[in-house]
Amino acid sequence: RRHVYDFTEGNAQMKSLLGGKGAGLAEMTRIGVPVPDGFTVTTQACVAAMQAGGTWPDNLWAQIEAHLDDLERRTGRTLGGSERPLLVSVRSGSVFSMPGMMDTILNLGISDDAAAGLAAETGNARFAWDSYRRFLQMYGEVVEGVPAHAFEDELAALKGRRGVTQDTDLTVEDLQELVATFRRVARANGADIPTDPREQLRRSVNAVFASWDNPRARVYRGLNAIPDDLGTAVNVQQMVFGNRGESSATGVAFTRNPSTGAKELYGEFLVNAQGEDVVAGIRTPRPLAELETVLPEAYRQFLDTMTLLESHYGDMQDIEFTIEQSKLYLLQTRNGKRTAAAALKVARDMVDEGVIDRETALRRIEPEQLDQLLHPGLDPKHTATPVTRGLNASPGAAVGRLVFDADTAAERGKAGDAVVLVRWETTPDDIHGVVAAQGVLTAHGGMTSHAAVVARGMGKPCVAGAGELQIDVAAKTVTIGGTVLTEDDTVTLDGSTGNVYVGPIALVPPQITDDFREVLGWADDVRRLGVRANADTGPDAAKARELGAEGIGLCRTEHMFMAADRLPVVQRMILASDADARGAALADLLPMQQSDFDEIFEAMTGLPVTIRLIDPPLHEFLPDLVEQSLLVQRLEIAGAGAPPSDELVAARDLLAHVKRLHEMNPMLGTRGVRLSLLYPEICVMQTRAIIRAAIAVRARGLDPRVEIMVPLVGFAEELRRMREVIVATADEELAAAGVALDYTVGTMIELPRAALTADKVAEHADFFSFGTNDLTQTAVGISRDDAEGSFLASYLEAGIVPANPFASIDADGVAELVRIGVTKGRETKPGLKTGVCGEHGGDPASIAIFDKIGLDYVSCSPYRVPLARLAAARTTL
Ligand code: ADP
Ligand code: MG
Ligand code: MG
């Protein structure tokens, strides 16, 4: 079996075998981009080693040695030789990019002899010993598990003794001393660093294999749904040296601005530095534009290479480069991670430039990413003065209390606190804290620092490199000028400007841009599935329409009952002792409901509006049983002995009603159509309100499209009877007004029995809307409110269920009921309109399933509508 490929033998298509980095290096080599020579050990070799508990496949080492021999021959160098030494990097690289999550070792092969050889060859001893100390540090840490701070502390101490701040200020002698110190540190930590360079290589390859399974890589894979069994490739590559003096440099760049998508130079570099220095945020790097003056010749090579790479890949590239004595080398290229705003702009621009077609553009934008654009920003009218400013590393606004370490951020974020993580710089180990925080603030690092890259990927606001921050992690304080902030302080970050404010600032709803409208318009052109919104008020309906909803799939009328001015009337209706009293309360409710529907029909003129008749059990409108009992007790104690006060009499009466309506299992109790059949006067009132509103809206020259929906039907007979009441009432209203107006009556399918008998239910329904929230609860037999906080979480962790069935529809079970319901319903009524109105209507994976089943539309909350439009388009591509 073949385990190793030279860069000249691979290409971009071999990603799963060579990893993204290996395939990229091979492809760049193939198209003539300057890449240091090397070879790649396959992901399959890593998987084989993992499966064998760490034992390598038989001939793996022999193959690596053979390719190393060739590399030595091609370069005319010897690994670790005392003359013309070959140094290599040993780099991880999996199929999906996991930036910084796995390990890489630079300058491998160096030793006292090789350092002397390198110094003699280059005439630059400082650089040789700088490379040496870096190697000891990385090798010690990655391969031998020496804690990183053990080396960092010594480096900081030496700089302190010399009174310098930058690594580059250390002299040859300093670096030689550091090499000796590092060796001592390694020994003190039980690490023996082999002197044989080939043994170093063998152990390093092994360590990179093992880094696939380090904790932060696991967390990252979990977050990004990357399978755990892919393994990493290992790239062994000749070193080029950005730390070889003032005409050498290293940097990171994007071919376009990954924050805004603008077609402009974006990136950073550091002169006289090596790879990790830029991203680690230890020294704050310089903007790429300055490279033109610092190293003009390399800059020209750089521009040409950027153009070549982008047109070759047809997508924005994220590259790593090193300049050794004014000559440019590319060390990595990949499709750049970008914010949602940038994704839309790049897609639109590239379609305009003729680089890609619309379908390709749509395929590149993840629906979930759009969510970022639908989050609030800072109120532009605010007058607060920023306390400091950093780089606008990832857009959006974040408001939260300060936290100083990732573990606390994770803990408090999980508990529901809004927190902002503040760090000198972030490392891959902080990722769980970034996830849980509203935003990230760092003192060090640039636009391509770890914090910035990770935050942009997650759509978290980030302000990086706010140099004025003085952070004391132990004391949990951050000092900015004269201001000292602690864990009790709230800050506001504006990731779009880099401004940092003390205290909370009001946020405003997101703004829809032209790029957004344009790209979603392409989605609308290709999707089959309709997209509606769940909305209960006029303003929500208007918002939904603005976001592209083609109607309302679910308007919950009982939400209108909960408003402060309505609840007392609703309670009066429930508590009524006879039909007359109930009728009077309902008569008061009618005009209120009518005005609600009026607003909604107006906002949705010309588009269908599905209104669901009352669904929840009546006790939900009354006080809680326990609380009401306590109130009665309190009043009894207060008035001990005296005749009962009016208040006590009323409280006792209410308690009696609460007790009467109390159910052991209200979710499966007197609710939905059952309630309406018991008290038809409620749904008669609702039907009147709906029809009167429609008549009034029509009279204003608008076009209301009425769909009345009956919830929780399990038996066709329930719907038959209910429909009779609705039709009689509606027709009476229309006749009285002398108006002809079409309306339809349909049902929610949210009980398995309704789905299984859909052919019979359809006899009385003009449409079906699958209520997949309740359908999931009733089909799977899991109570959502009880499960999500308890066993469902452990089920997910243990892999008993592949996904939360309330977030993503259960494909084998619940979706099958939907399919049966659609099929049987259409057997009775071929043109039966069908939709879905549960949370699943806004979930891309569920949308793909609904599209396949052949539903007519999905309906989701207004802010999910754009996601749903894009997801519906992508399933057809
Ligand atoms: P990561 O996946 O964490 O980015 P990389 O393997 O890309 O790790 O390497 C880390 C850094 O080391 C990068 O900045 C890269 O440019 C630099 N580097 C890797 N290999 C070489 C090499 N052969 N010569 C010079 N720099 C290198
Ligand atoms: Mg890299
Ligand atoms: Mg329901």
- Shared fold status for 249-335 and 375-508: no
Is 356's pLDDT higher than 80? yes
The confidence score (pLDDT) of residue 128 equals: 95
Res 560: pLDDT:
78
Report the percent of the chain where pLDDT is more than 90.
Answer: 73
Residue 712 confidence (pLDDT): 97
Q: Which residue has the higher pLDDT, 368 or 606?
A: 606
User: Which pLDDT does position 490 carry in this prediction?
Assistant: 96
Q: Ligand 3 centroid to 325 CA: how many Å? A: 69
Of the listed ligands, the closest to the CA of 285 is 1
What does the alpha-carbon distance between residue 861 and residue 531 come to, in Å, rounded to a whole number?
Answer: 10
Tell which CATH classification among 3.40.50.10800, 1.20.80.30, 3.40.50.970, 3.30.420.40 matches the domain 71-238: 1.20.80.30
Whether 733 lines ligand 1, by a CB cut-off of 6 Å, is no
- Edge to edge, the sheet with strand 266-271 lists 286-287, 266-271, 249-254, 317-324, 327-335
Residue boundaries of the structural domains of the chain: 71-238, 249-335, 375-508, 528-617+663-874, 622-662
Q: Does residue 101 have its Cβ closer than 6 Å to ligand 1?
A: no
Q: Give the Å distance between the CA of 332 and the centre of ligand 1.
A: 8
The predicted-structure confidence for 445-454, as pLDDT tens digits, reads as follows 777 777 887 7
Tell me if 211 CB under 6 Å of ligand 1.
Answer: no
Q: What is the pLDDT of residues 397-433, one digit of tens each?
A: 999 999 999 999 999 988 889 999 999 988 877 888 9
CB 771 within 8 A of CB 803: no
pLDDT digits (tens, 9 = 90+) for 505-529: 998 878 788 999 999 999 999 999 9
819 close to 797: Cβ distance less than 8 angstroms: no
- Quick one: 249-335 is in which CATH superfamily? ATP-grasp fold, B domain (3.30.470.20)
Question: In ligand 1, which atom is closest to the CA atom of 252?
Answer: 14
774 labeled part of a ligand binding site = yes
- Structure tokens, 740: 């002809």
Closest C-alpha to 689, from 576, 800, 589, 766: 589
What torsion, rounded to 10 degrees, do the Cα atoms 635, 641, 646, 648 define?
30
- Ligand 1 binding pocket includes 817 (Cβ within 6 Å): no
* pLDDT (tens digit per residue) in 654-690: 898 888 888 888 889 999 999 999 999 999 999 999 9
How far is residue 732's CA from residue 723's CA, in Å, rounded to a whole number? Answer: 14
Mean pLDDT value across residues 272-292: 83
- Whether residue 108 contacts residue 205, with contact meaning beta carbons closer than 8 Å, is answered with no
Nearest-angstrom CA–CA distance, 288 and 692: 65
Q: Which of 817, 841, 724, 822 is nearest to 767 (CA)?
A: 822
Alpha-carbon distances of 118 from 111, 173, 321, rounded to whole Å: 10, 16, 22
Stretch 360-380: mean pLDDT: 86
Among 52-56, 300-304, 510-514, 868-872, which stretch is predicted with the lowest mean pLDDT? 510-514
Rounded distance between C-alpha atoms, residue 544 and residue 531, angstroms: 10
* pLDDT value at residue 624: 84
Start-to-end C-alpha separation, the chain: 37
Query: How far is 439 from 309, CA to CA, in rounded Å?
Result: 33
- Could you tell me what percent of the chain has a pLDDT over 70? 99
Q: Are 720 and 764 within 8 A, CB to CB?
A: yes
450 CB under 6 A from ligand 1? no
CB atoms within 10 A of CB 700: 11
Q: Which atom of ligand 1 is nearest to the CA of 238?
A: 23
Which tokens hold the place of 646?
């009016």
What pLDDT does residue 429 have?
A: 76
Mean pLDDT of all residues belonging to the chain: 92
CB 868 within 8 A of CB 371: no
> In which element (H, E) is residue 232 found?
strand 232-238
Of all protein residues, the one whose alpha carbon is nearest to atom 23 of ligand 1 is 239
Q: Which of 248, 322, 448 to mutate to test the pocket of ligand 1 (most atoms within 8 A of CB)?
A: 322
Give the C-alpha separation, 76 to 21, whole Å: 25
Give pLDDT tens digits for 567-577: 888 888 888 88
Task: Supply 135's token pair.
Answer: 């190697």
The residues annotated with a catalytic role in the active site are 450, 837
Handedness of CA 751, 756, 760, 764 (dihedral sign): positive
- Residue 587 has what pLDDT? 95
- Does 676 contact ligand 1 (Cβ within 6 A)? no
| 612 annotated to bind ligand | yes
The distance of Cα 263 from the centroid of its chain, to the nearest Å, equals 25
Task: Return d(Cα 57, Cα 63) in angstroms, integer.
Answer: 11
Nearest ligand to the C-alpha atom of residue 217: 1
Q: What is the pLDDT of residue 70?
A: 98
The string of pLDDT tens digits covering residues 205-262 is 999 999 999 888 888 888 788 899 999 999 999 999 999 989 999 999 999 999 889 9
Helix H or strand E encompassing 833: strand 833-836
As to burial, measured by CB atoms within 10 angstroms (0-12 exposed, 13-18 middle, 19+ buried), residue 578 is exposed
Which pLDDT score, from 0 to 100, does residue 318 have?
Answer: 94
Query: Which residues have C-beta within 8 Å of that of residue 517, sequence separation ≥ 6?
Result: none
Give the DSSP per-residue string, 130-181. Answer: HHHHHHHHHHHHHTT---HHHHHHHHHHHHHHHT--SGGG--HHHHHHHHHH
Q: Which two tokens stand for residue 826?
A: 């259409």
Long-range contacts (CB closer than 8 Å, 24 or more residues apart) made by 656-661: 657/574, 657/575, 657/622, 658/619, 658/622, 658/623, 658/624, 658/625, 658/628, 659/625, 661/574, 661/617, 661/618, 661/619, 661/622
Give the number of the ligand closest to the Cα of residue 751: 3
Average pLDDT over residues 441-460: 80
Amino acid present at 143: V
Reported as a single tens digit per residue, the pLDDT across 303-330 is 999 999 999 999 999 999 999 999 999 9
pLDDT at 59: 95
Dist. CA 361–CA 349, nearest whole Å: 10
Residue from 89, 139, 235, 282 to probe ligand 1 pocket by mutation (most atoms less than 8 Å from CB): 89
Q: Is 773 annotated as a binding residue?
A: yes
Q: For position 101, what pLDDT does the model report?
A: 82
Architecture per CATH, domain 528-617+663-874, reads as Alpha-Beta Barrel (3.20)
DSSP 812: T
Which pairing describes strands 397-403 and 419-423: parallel, antiparallel, or unpaired?
Answer: parallel
Structure confidence at residue 448 (pLDDT)? 72
Band the pLDDT of 280: cuts 50, 70, 90: low
CA of 91 to the centre of ligand 1 (A): 7
Decide which of 705 and 624 is more confident: 705
Ligand 1 contact via 428 beta carbon (within 6 Å): no
Q: Residue type at 540?
A: D
Nearest-atom index, ligand 1, CA of 321: 16
Phi first, then psi: what are they for 170, rounded to 5°? -80, 145
d(CA 551, CA 541): 8
- Please tell me the predicted confidence (pLDDT) of residue 698: 98
User: At residue 281, does pLDDT exceed 70?
Assistant: no
Confidence class for position 457, pLDDT limits 50, 70, 90: low
CA 241 to ligand 1: nearest atom? 25
**Per-residue buried b or exposed e for 649-672, using 16+ beta carbons within 10 Å of the residue's own CB:** eebbebbebbeebeeeeeebbbbb
267: confidence class by pLDDT, cuts 50, 70, 90: very high
Mutate to test the pocket of ligand 1, among 18, 35, 95, 106 (most ligand atoms within 8 A of CB): 106
Residue 821: other Cβ atoms inside 10 A: 27
Q: Which residue has the higher pLDDT, 192 or 587?
A: 587
CATH number of 375-508: 3.50.30.10
Cβ of residue 239 lying under 6 Å from some atom of ligand 1: yes
Q: Tens digits of per-residue pLDDT, 540-572? A: 899 999 999 999 999 998 777 877 778 888 888
Q: Is the CB of 280 under 6 A from ligand 1?
A: no
Q: Could you report the predicted ipTM of this complex, rounded to two decimals?
A: 0.96
- How many Å lie between the centroid of ligand 2 and the Cα of residue 474? 32
pLDDT tens readout for residues 65-120:
999 999 999 999 999 999 999 999 999 999 998 877 888 899 999 999 999 999 99
**CA-CA distances (angstroms) from residue 615 to 330, 608, 712, 767, 771?**
63, 20, 8, 18, 12
Residues with CB under 5 A from ligand 2 (ion): 332
Q: What's the confidence (pLDDT) of residue 259?
A: 86
pLDDT of 282 strictly over 70: no
Which residue has the CA at smallest separation from atom 24 of ligand 1?
A: 239
Residue 237 Cβ contacting ligand 1 at under 6 Å: yes
766-807 pLDDT, tens digit each = 999 999 999 999 999 998 878 876 788 789 888 899 888 998
Residue 252 CA, ligand 1 centroid: distance in Å: 10
